[in-house]
Structure 1
Amino acid sequence: MDKRTIAGRRRVLAGMAGSLILATMPWASAWAEDGLGTADAPVEVRIMANEAFANSWQTLLVPEFNKVYPNIHVTFDGVPYTELLAKMMLDATSPQPEYDVLLVDDPWVPQLAEIGALADLKGEKIAALTSADYDWDDFNAAPLAAGEWNGVQYAVPVRSNMLLRFYNRSLYKAAGLPEPTPAQTWDEFFSDAEKLVRDTNGDGKADVWAVDTYFVREPLTPTIWQSILNANGGSLLDDAGAPAFANEIGAKSLETHKRLLDYAPPGALGHGFSDSLQAFRQGLVANLFNWGSVYKSTAVDPKSTTLTVDEVGIQVLPVGDARAGSHRGIWIAGIGSKTEHVEASWAFLQWLTSKQGESVNATLAGSFPARKSTLTGTPAEPWLGPVYQTLQNAYEVAAEGGMWRIRSAKSDAAQQILADEIARGLAGQASAEEALSTASEKIAKVLK
């Protein structure tokens, strides 16, 4: 099938999806025009989001939404990830916030809730605007819980990301190894890793490696260690909310994270999201531990990858002493508590997170859905089939193992401490025991 045929089919699919939503979303016609705008007086809804996907959502998703709500004009403003939380908090605490909707990373809900930035999505006002077909119970528990704090649902999952394992089938075959399975243990992974580091051009130097992932000193790097920690039966905090990772399980897990460097490309200690992703897309590494939302751009889109769908496998991380590994990194969206456009804002979020909206989002933008019905249904494109299977598995694993960052109004500070200390352990500047002990002491003080 040539590229023009594929592109044509995708345009048809997108049009069908928009028509389907218009026909099957009863609240689109049931709501009065008041609050949803008119042709002469449209409603403007502004959304602050991560610049990594804000522009693509503006381009791909807003036109689909406008097939249902033509008089709500949605504008995404992209902000660099490192600046996003601070800008959200600054805007939310101003007398007249500029933004109606905040698109928030997994651990930030407690901070934003504590300053009163977000509206209660199940409260009386918004509940009255919610369709009976919306079906809160259809969401998987792990992604939905990312938007909850102290019993209040402040946000809904709109880009349900999970830390997953990508593997290159071609490199496994060339090394004479069978494809890894979701039941593969860490010991089995490292046994394969010995054979996956190879010299393919005969110059005496390795030019393909077994793995790449986060090693650099930055806030997302500890999620690799934490995934291994949870898989080994450990946890970040105990039932009383105190640090519980500075022990034998924590040290063993950090040593496993560090051992990955033995099978990673030169300079991998400085690698994070982009570097490891590029190494995998270029066919230089057999395994990548990274966020699953990059699957489409890594296995499907020829503009951004040298790989194809047939070459890229996807599954949860290797099995530890207790279970397989994963880590929750859900992007959730909430309505600003001071917005004057509650109805229009909720119309957009309700559309985006409806059963039909999730399908459009997954098909056009590659975003992962959170609803059980979406993941167990027939995907709009064949490549989504194995992805959905793995994602459902990851949600269940994460819920069982508590695989997410610290949930606290001080979570950002705690994550930075972990970033600093895990980086020291990976670089050999401190033993695993010393790095985790220091992190535990500092986090205990922060959380008080």
Structure 2
Amino acid sequence: MKRNFWRKVISGVAVAFMLTGMIGCSDSSNTAKEGSSSSSNKKVELKVGTWAGAQELKEFQAIVDKLNQQAKDYHLTIQSIPADYYKKIQTMAAAKQAPDLFWLSQEYIPMYAKLGVISPIDEYVKDHPEVNLDDYFEGPLKIGEVDGKLYGLPWINQPVMLYYNQTLFEKYGVELPKPNWTWEDFRKAAIKLTKDTNNDGKVDQFGTVVDGWPPIALWIWTYGGEIVDKDGKVRIDEPEAIEGIKMFDQLINKDKVTPSKTQAQNTGGPEMFKTGKVAMFFGGAGDDLEKQIGDAFKVGMTKVPHATKEATFSWIAATVMSSTTKNKEVAAEALIDLTNAIHEWKILPPTKSDLTNVAKIRPDKAYAIDVIKESSTISRGFNNQDKQNELDTAIWQQLYEPILLGKKSPEQAAKDAGNALRKILGQ
């Protein structure tokens, strides 16, 4: 995945401050805006906000061009914001000039919904012939729900998978990872694959890499715990969650099967995997590691390990509709058409039916389609809150980084993180 999950560009407080003026902006008397008017003989002009840039923007433009040729009621114009996307979207929203449709990654949806920046789409997708909500994997669909209303249709579901260097496993006679692997299985293999290959007294090959990625939820959820549950209750310091954090700590500080934070971040986890310095890597199902590695070694992919429960974190984004768009019915139609079209793009779709086409779109993933399907079924996002960015920052500062640096025990880190999260949420 092309992101360090725990580093946020914009804090939730700053975002909320910028957007406060948008509360109640869905009033029809304030919704007219330039470029959104229509007449009986003119298509509704709609702007689409995206962070796509360079080659991805060209591919996205081709999708939009095709839709514009087919559409009878609307015409889409892309508004590309490849840098400082959220800062610029927030500025436009505060001025009531947000694009009619735009992309939001999962952690921003609750905040934008509660501030009135985006509109619910339930009435438009209900019984729509081109929308089958039952076809969506449960995890991706749920990230668009806030207070019982649906605010967006997901266009990508990127579950975290376990990539492994099959060549290294075979070289050292270690059993290949299986879909039913437990964390203990993973741990044993990682220990066997952590080696000083040149006998200079320093480890130069590691079983895995943990450097701020993957998120701690991968351990907490698979031990039956939660960080914040669906009702907004903080549970990161409960026994199940602590058991997951203990395994996280075990791998880093006791077994030492991962490079140090500095070493990993200086080189980069993906780069260490691609150069054979790391045997197992947690990456997104749609990452192009296979293409980048080429013939250097044989790559395998399977589900992430588990303890008492199978689960995996997924990077999910949705198409949403601005509350200031004038013709919501037409904008919703465009949202549906656009999202469905993106499902046929190169990314991994959040729908069961479209996932069957991935092998054709991405031949490099054909070998792993079955485990990608299984992972999509157990994939999920966070139980996102309107202050999700603040929560993520607190988890990094109070738990993830301290354990990464060996400065806190799992119990103390969980306690500190729990207290910090409750303070943010007013519990």
Normalising by the smaller structure, the TM-score range is 0.7 to 0.9
Aligned length: 379
Structure 1 contact 257–426 (Cα < 8 Å) conserved: no
Q: Judging by fraction of residues, say which structure has more helix.
A: 1
Amino acid paired to 1:175: Y
Q: Partners of 1:176 and 1:105 in 2: how far apart?
A: 41
Report matched runs for 1:358-369 at 5 Å: 358-359=343-344, 361-362=345-346, 367-369=347-349
Structure 2 alignment gaps of length 5 or more: 1-38, 70-74
Q: SS at the partner of 1:353?
A: helix
Give the 3-state SS of the residue equivalent to 1:78 in structure 2: coil
Distance 1:141 1:252 in 2: 26
Q: Which amino acid aligns with 2:382?
A: R
**In 2: Cα distance, 1:44 partner to 1:277 partner:** 38
Whole-angstrom CA distance in 1 between matches of 2:220 and 2:323: 37
Q: 2:122, 2:42 → 1: CA distance?
A: 19
Counterpart position of 2:36:
none
Q: Choose from 280, 285, 299 the match for 1:292.
A: 285
Instruction: Classify 1:347/1:58 alpha carbon distance in 2 versus 1 (closer, same or farther; 3 Å).
Output: farther
Q: Is the 8 A contact 2:102 2:321 kept in 1?
A: yes
> Cα distance, 1:86 vs. partner?
4.5
Instruction: Quote how far apart the aligned CAs of 1:247 are.
Output: 3.2
TM-score, normalised relative to structure 2: 0.79
User: Cα 1:33–1:68, aligned 2, differ >3 Å: closer, same or farther?
Assistant: farther
Distance (Å, rounded) in 2 between the aligned partners of 1:389 and 1:138: 17
C-alpha deviations, 1:110-130, integer Å up to 9, x for none?
Answer: 10001111122233xx459x9
- Partner of 1:116, secondary structure, is coil
1:304-328 deviations in whole A, cap 9, x for unaligned? Answer: x2345982222221121x1234113
Cα distance change on mapping 1:103 and 1:247 into 2, 3 Å: same
Any conservation in 2 of the 1:315–1:390 contact (CA below 8 Å)? yes
Q: For 2:297 and 2:197, how far apart are their aligned partners in 1? A: 21
What residue is the counterpart of 1:334 in the other structure? 320
- Give the alignment's Cα RMSD to 1 decimal: 3.0
What is aligned with 2:68? Answer: 69
- Calculate percent identity across the aligned residue pairs: 19
Q: How far 1:186 moved relative to its partner? A: 1.2
CA 1:141/1:272 → structure 2, altered by over 3 Å: closer, same or farther?
farther
Q: Structure 1: which 5+ runs fail to align?
A: 1-31, 38-42, 216-220
Aligned amino acid, residue 177 of structure 1? V
The answer to whether the Cα contact below 8 Å between 2:225 and 2:236 also exists between their aligned partners in 1 is yes
For 1:91, the equivalent position in structure 2 comes to 92
Conserved 8 A contact 1:375-1:389: no
Give the match for residue 306 of structure 1: 293
Q: Partners of 2:258 and 2:413 in 1: how far apart?
A: 24
Return closer, same or farther for 1:182/1:212 CA change in 2, 3 Å cut-off.
same
Tell whether 2:269 aligns with 1:276. Answer: yes
Q: In structure 2, what is the equivalent of residue 323 of structure 1?
A: 309
SS in 1 for 2:394: helix
Q: Which residue of 2 aligns with 1:391?
A: 372
State whether structure 2 residue 382 is matched by structure 1 residue 405.
yes
Identify the residue that residue 240 of structure 2 maps to in structure 1.
249
Alpha-carbon distance between aligned partners in 1 of 2:42 and 2:281, rounded to the nearest angstrom: 46
**TM-score of the aligned structures, taking structure 1 as reference length:** 0.75
SS in 2 for 1:103: strand
Partner of 2:26: none
1:40-86 superposed Cα distances (whole Å, 9 cap, x missing partner)? xxx4624143xxx4444311122133133145332321134xxx444
The secondary structure found in structure 2 opposite 1:79 is coil
- Partners in 1 of 2:131 and 2:390 — Cα distance? 36
| Compared CA separation, residues 330 and 268, structure 1 to 2 (3 A) | same
Match of 1:154 among 139, 151, 156: 151
Distance 1:76 1:86, change over 3 A: closer
How far did 1:273 drift? 11
CA distance in 2, matches of 1:138, 1:33: 35
Report the Cα distance in structure 2 between the residues aligned to 1:274 and 1:149, rounded to whole angstroms: 39
